[in-house]
């Protein structure tokens, strides 16, 4: 509708439909013919303003908050890392540049996340072993108590006995384990234990390897310690001691990383297969397909790595493995001794399904499969299906 176009050429039907759909104003075609373009414009503007006044804009109120950005960042930090940050601490300081604010706030979130994860190194083993203990206690309380005592005494030298834990509630056991773990993680107890061993055994690699295997329950070979001098021996033993303190968390980290890496790697291989099938078309744009394949493949690989980092950091602060205590019948296998049962800490490998998933992740991407294209894998799957059908249709074997 325009003064420069003859009225008989105006598309009044479309204008009427648009006025109704956008502004809920009913303008008939006959009415539009009697109106000038300026009158139509004024009526549509008035209808638009009326519709704006009717809209509920309450959802936009949070965006008008002066500290909306700080609150949103604090909420994101809580969801991703479990952090409780004060939004005011994330606000820009007076006369602070934007880049300086970003650097300062990123440092705050990073430091808090590191502290939170170090705290989890203390809390997660206690949570895991107690959950394992109470599951096992439903089947054999005496055996479960003995395993918990051995774990606590080996890990933190707590000197527990059956009578000591029988008098404690679950909350008291948890607090006791946390209180005992603190000095080992932060007050140098591992270093003092290693120094005592060095004082007793000197630089005898064989004696130190035997002591470390018994004290830390770690696989330490003699040839790993023989070429080391005294300071290197101390550093190696301290590393093994610290690895002992976070055994359960390390197994959780390994499980999560393998699961995410396996999934991301399979998706990446599929994307590369698709790229290989389509990159030849870029030759029509006067681009070298080989160079484009390398460039695009490198970009997709970098995206895969970023995805892995995001997923791992998103999960590792919140997930935990489910302890696995296999049920033992009270009627059968009554002669089986408790010595034949695995140590309770072995349950850190997770449930049977989790162990199967972990094994699959560890064997994912075998050489024979890794170098096959998508078409080759489809052909192999088709052959396997046809062979299976042929075997099933062959009937029973007769001698």
132, part of any domain:
no
Who wins on pLDDT, 58 or 98? 98
What's the pLDDT at 338?
38
Last residue of a domain, one of 57, 74, 99: 57
Which of 146-160, 216-230, 289-303, 324-338 bottoms out in mean pLDDT, i.e. has the lowest? Answer: 324-338
150, part of any domain:
no
297, part of any domain:
yes
Q: Which residue has the tokens 């010595």?
A: 339
Who wins on pLDDT, 43 or 148? 148
Within 10 Å of residue 366's Cβ, how many Cβ atoms? 8
SS3 292: helix
310, part of any domain:
yes
118, part of any domain:
no
pLDDT tens-place string over residues 293-323:
999 999 999 999 999 999 998 899 988 887 7
Co-location of 276 and 313 in the same domain:
yes
Distance of CA 60 to the CA centre of its chain: 32
Read off the CATH number of the domain in which 285 is found.
1.10.3060.10
173, part of any domain:
no
**What's the half-sphere exposure (Cβ side, CA atoms, 13 Å) at 89?**
10
Per the CB < 8 A criterion, the answer to whether 155 and 125 are in contact is yes
**What's the half-sphere exposure (Cβ side, CA atoms, 13 Å) at 35?**
18
- Quote the CA–CA distance of 186 and 172 in Å, as a whole number: 22
Co-location of 269 and 353 in the same domain:
yes
381, part of any domain:
yes
How far from 317 is each of 39, 56, 171, 189, 259, CA to CA, in Å? 63, 38, 22, 26, 16
312, part of any domain:
yes
* Count of domains observed in the chain: 3
Per the CB < 8 A criterion, the answer to whether 80 and 313 are in contact is yes
Six token digits for residue 68: 């909306």
Co-location of 310 and 375 in the same domain:
no
Co-location of 253 and 359 in the same domain:
yes
| Helix and strand counts by DSSP (H, E) for the chain | 17, 0
Co-location of 272 and 358 in the same domain:
yes
Within 10 Å of residue 313's Cβ, how many Cβ atoms? 13
Q: Which residues contact 345 (CB under 8 A, 6 or more apart)?
A: 129, 132, 151, 247, 248
Per the CB < 8 A criterion, the answer to whether 60 and 32 are in contact is no
- Quote the CA–CA distance of 166 and 173 in Å, as a whole number: 10
pLDDT category, 40, cuts 50, 70, 90?
confident
Q: Which residue has the tokens 């939004």?
A: 87
Co-location of 358 and 269 in the same domain:
yes
What's the pLDDT at 197?
94
Alpha-carbon radius of gyration of the chain: 34
Co-location of 376 and 301 in the same domain:
no
Co-location of 303 and 387 in the same domain:
no
Within 10 Å of residue 357's Cβ, how many Cβ atoms? 16
- Residue range 116-137: mean pLDDT, rounded: 93
Co-location of 346 and 385 in the same domain:
no
Could you tell me the residue range of the domain that residue 21 belongs to?
7-57
What's the pLDDT at 352?
52
Q: Which residues of 97-125 are buried (b: 16+ CB within 10 A; e: fewer)?
A: eeeeeeeebeebbeebbeeebeebbbebb
Co-location of 254 and 323 in the same domain:
yes
Of 27, 25, 26, 24, the closest CA to residue 10 belongs to 27
pLDDT category, 203, cuts 50, 70, 90?
confident
- Quote the CA–CA distance of 74 and 105 in Å, as a whole number: 11
The percent of residues in the chain predicted with pLDDT above 90, rounded, is 46
> Is residue 137 classed exposed, middle or buried when 0-12, 13-18 and 19+ CB atoms within 10 A define those classes?
middle
Co-location of 361 and 380 in the same domain:
no
Of 160, 144, 140, the closest CA to residue 152 belongs to 160
């Amino acid at each position: 509708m325009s003064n420069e176009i003859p009225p008989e050429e105006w598309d009044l039907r479309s204008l009427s439909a648009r006025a109704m759909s956008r502004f809920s104003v009913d303008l008939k075609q006959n009415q539009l013919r009697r109106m000038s373009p300026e009158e139509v414009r004024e009526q549509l503007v008035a209808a638009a303003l009326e519709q704006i006044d009717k809209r509920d804009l309450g959802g936009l109120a949070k965006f008008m908050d002066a500290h909306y950005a700080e609150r949103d960042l604090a909420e994101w930090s809580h969801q991703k890392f479990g952090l409780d940050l004060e939004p005011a601490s994330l606000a820009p300081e007076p006369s602070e540049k934007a880049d300086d604010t970003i650097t300062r706030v990123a440092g705050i979130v990073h430091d808090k996340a590191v502290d939170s994860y170090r705290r989890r190194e203390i809390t997660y083993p206690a949570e895991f072993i107690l959950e394992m203990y109470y599951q096992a206690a439903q089947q054999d309380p005496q055996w479960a108590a003995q395993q918990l005592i051995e774990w606590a005494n080996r890990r933190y030298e707590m000197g527990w006995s059956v009578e000591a834990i029988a008098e404690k509630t679950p909350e008291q056991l948890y607090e006791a384990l946390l209180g005992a773990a603190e000095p080992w993680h932060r007050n140098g107890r591992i270093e003092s234990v290693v120094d005592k061993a060095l004082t007793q055994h000197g630089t005898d690699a064989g004696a130190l390897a035997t002591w470390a295997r018994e004290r830390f329950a770690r696989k330490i070979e003699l040839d790993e310690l023989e070429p080391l001098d005294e300071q290197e021996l101390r550093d190696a033993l301290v590393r093994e001691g610290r690895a002992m303190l976070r055994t359960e968390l390390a197994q959780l980290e390994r499980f999560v990383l393998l699961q995410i890496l396996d999934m991301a790697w399979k998706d990446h291989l599929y994307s590369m297969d698709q790229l290989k099938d389509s990159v030849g078309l870029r030759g029509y744009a006067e681009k070298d397909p080989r160079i484009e394949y390398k460039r695009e493949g490198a970009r997709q690989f970098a995206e895969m790595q970023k995805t892995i980092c995001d997923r791992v950091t998103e999960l590792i602060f919140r997930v935990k493995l489910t302890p696995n205590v296999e049920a033992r019948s009270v009627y059968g296998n009554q002669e089986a001794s408790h010595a034949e049962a695995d140590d309770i800490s072995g349950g850190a490998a997770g449930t049977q399904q989790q162990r199967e998933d972990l094994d699959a992740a560890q064997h994912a991407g075998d050489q024979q499969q890794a170098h096959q294209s998508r078409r080759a894998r489809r052909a192999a799957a088709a052959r396997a299906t046809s062979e299976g059908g042929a075997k099933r249709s062959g009937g029973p074997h007769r001698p």
